Structure 1
């Protein structure tokens, strides 16, 4: 695809080329729960509502963003390095429905059959692919849009990378999160989101936060100290005097309650720093994965357009004529598909 300036209701102007990184398991989970009532089956009679919903949203995203390359991250469902390190990782989540498991297992082969690029990193997750995609985009001077419903990906937001966070309402009803929009939502700079999340914890992954530190206090702490590296250094070398002074000054200027002493007490409690650093380790995405993208070689996986016959055969197997027509128009660039 050619590099052009693009302005749509869902995306900012751009001059760089664009990589679309898709968190496939996240989309499959959302679509399984949203579409299970349809009982849609493919032509072989197997459940296909989650696969169809995921693919439909992907096609709509490609139509909206006009990316130059697309990469799909998948979870290694057989092994987990994070669970090896922390056996209680994601403990407490409900058991997956067998029909969802079936569609999760088939997603990679479906996308590969289309000629799209997928990556299932051994022992890792789709979020690691997202992290590596954001890094790849910055290193190659591309833009990146990550499509996910998982807020863990917010840690990858930068001047190069935005997050389309899927919520109710689908692609067109979902927010595109940039550094400025993230700051409005959470009161933290994009580069501090990982530290913010580590302080707060993540119940969905069974990761408790630092005791006594919630979203508001985590945001305030990072806003006043700039980073947790600065906060820990102040505590270690200066008994937290700079932290106390910053919060006392803020309280005097705004009339807010003085919370510096209580924050300092919580940060210096036994195990507080260890909990923070443990969470950072678990939450950090791998940034060094080989995505296998070769944008200088036309026709390689991940690049658009796709082969017409493959799209018609693979999408057609999902047994939704309207989606097949949309896929042919968007994914192949075939003029004859317009209006089908």
Structure 2
């Protein structure tokens, strides 16, 4: 059986958790907001229980500035200022992950998705089944026979859609490696990348079906008729720039190798101290139960939950990872804390 590498986009999923859980319902007596931390760690426990990875890491952005903003200053410039209530939680989330002895990675001048892309590429080459957990559609390009994307398909992070290559084709009509070319033509509002005027997903997929790639489309640009053809000829540089920017970096120099990401016993004392400070009584019970079973690891070295934890969900069907039981648990824990 192949080992499993789990790599998580920390910023993307913490941000989703922040907006999914009411900020005023998750704060300590001294006023520290904790909803993003709580939601993220709840999702992580669900993943550890369901997927039992042998190796794992969580990646974070260092800032909004990167090589992409240098190339195109308007990249993500439409995003509003990060709420102060969220900013104050990222440092504590990293502290929690380190107490759980989960590797936290950042790379100046790059985004978390570039770290995920590098780890996924290395992991697949080294014989791992790779699970990428991200709320950024750019990571669809990483999906192949060895790499599966777990993508939040509703608000928050309690339900994750499982995208293998077949699921990508079913949803988008193109192979995973072609998805960034669809995005390049259509544009990506969340990244402030304008595409070709009046070119939607269906048109982009049709062109890719005819010509195979963005390069192929541009080689046959004079054959494309109508208003959209005129727009493509006039705005082709938008698509070329977008494709350059949405291509994830797969060969970053990182301070770790894949074997360094092996699941390790958590530092229970550090977890207890931090979770007490954050007033995470229910989460603390869950994590200490995990630690009680071989200090968080099963005999074969995989991350595990205690048998005394809440009943595990049924095994996921091939195309969906269900988290309904987590949503119910979150509701109960909100009331309890």
Please tell me the TM-score bracket, short chain as reference. 0.7 to 0.9
Q: What do the CA deviations read for 1:272-320 (whole angstroms, capped 9, x no partner)?
A: 1x22121011111111124444454xxx555234333333334443322
In 2, Cα distance between the equivalents of 1:174 and 1:282?
A: 26
Hey, what does 2:229 align to over in structure 1?
Answer: 265
Determine whether 1:193 maps to 2:179. Answer: yes
Structure 1 residue 185 displacement after superposition: 0.7
In 1, Cα distance between the equivalents of 2:155 and 2:200?
A: 29
What pairs with 1:149-298 in structure 2 (closer than 5 Å)?
Answer: 149-168=135-154, 173-235=159-221, 240=223, 260-262=224-226, 265-266=229-230, 269-272=233-236, 274-294=237-257, 296=259
Q: What do the CA deviations read for 1:33-61 (whole angstroms, capped 9, x no partner)?
A: 11134532347642111111111111111
What pairs with 1:46-195 in structure 2 (closer than 5 Å)?
Answer: 46-77=32-63, 79-168=65-154, 173-195=159-181
Question: Is this contact kept in 2: 1:29–1:100, CA < 8 A?
Answer: yes
Hey, what does 1:19 align to over in structure 2?
Answer: 5
SS state at 1:22 partner? strand
SS state at 2:22 partner? helix
Question: Is this contact kept in 2: 1:59–1:330, CA < 8 A?
Answer: no
Hey, what does 2:330 align to over in structure 1?
Answer: none
SS state at 1:222 partner? helix
Hey, what does 1:326 align to over in structure 2?
Answer: 286
SS state at 1:317 partner? helix
In 2, Cα distance between the equivalents of 1:265 and 1:169?
A: 36
TM-score, normalised by the number of residues in structure 1: 0.79
Moved more, 80-89 or 165-174: 165-174
Count of residue correspondences? 300
Structure 1 residue 138 displacement after superposition: 1.9
Q: 1:223 to 1:317 in 2, by over 3 A?
A: farther
Question: Is this contact kept in 1: 2:100–2:265, CA < 8 A?
Answer: no
Question: Is this contact kept in 1: 2:265–2:295, CA < 8 A?
Answer: no
Hey, what does 1:36 align to over in structure 2?
Answer: 22
In 2, Cα distance between the equivalents of 1:101 and 1:145?
A: 27
Determine whether 1:339 maps to 2:308. Answer: yes
Structure 1 residue 160 displacement after superposition: 1.2
Question: Is this contact kept in 2: 1:74–1:108, CA < 8 A?
Answer: no
Q: 1:313 to 1:188 in 2, by over 3 A?
A: same
TM-score, normalised by the number of residues in structure 2: 0.80
In 1, Cα distance between the equivalents of 2:227 and 2:210?
A: 12
Higher relative contact order (CA 8 A, sep 6+): 2
Hey, what does 1:312 align to over in structure 2?
Answer: 272
Question: Is this contact kept in 2: 1:146–1:163, CA < 8 A?
Answer: yes
Question: Is this contact kept in 1: 2:193–2:242, CA < 8 A?
Answer: yes
Moved more, 103-112 or 35-44: 35-44
Structure 1 residue 263 displacement after superposition: 7.8
Structure 1 residue 169 displacement after superposition: 7.2
In 2, Cα distance between the equivalents of 1:229 and 1:101?
A: 40
Question: Is this contact kept in 2: 1:134–1:144, CA < 8 A?
Answer: yes
Q: 1:323 to 1:189 in 2, by over 3 A?
A: same
Moved more, 150-159 or 174-183: 150-159
Question: Is this contact kept in 2: 1:78–1:123, CA < 8 A?
Answer: no
Runs of 4+ in structure 1 off by over 6 angstroms are: none
Question: Is this contact kept in 1: 2:7–2:119, CA < 8 A?
Answer: yes
Question: Which is higher, the Rg of structure 1 or of structure 2?
Answer: 1
Q: What do the CA deviations read for 1:205-256 (whole angstroms, capped 9, x no partner)?
A: 1100123321000111112222223333345xxx54xxxxxxxxxxxxxxxx
Structure 1 residue 99 displacement after superposition: 0.5
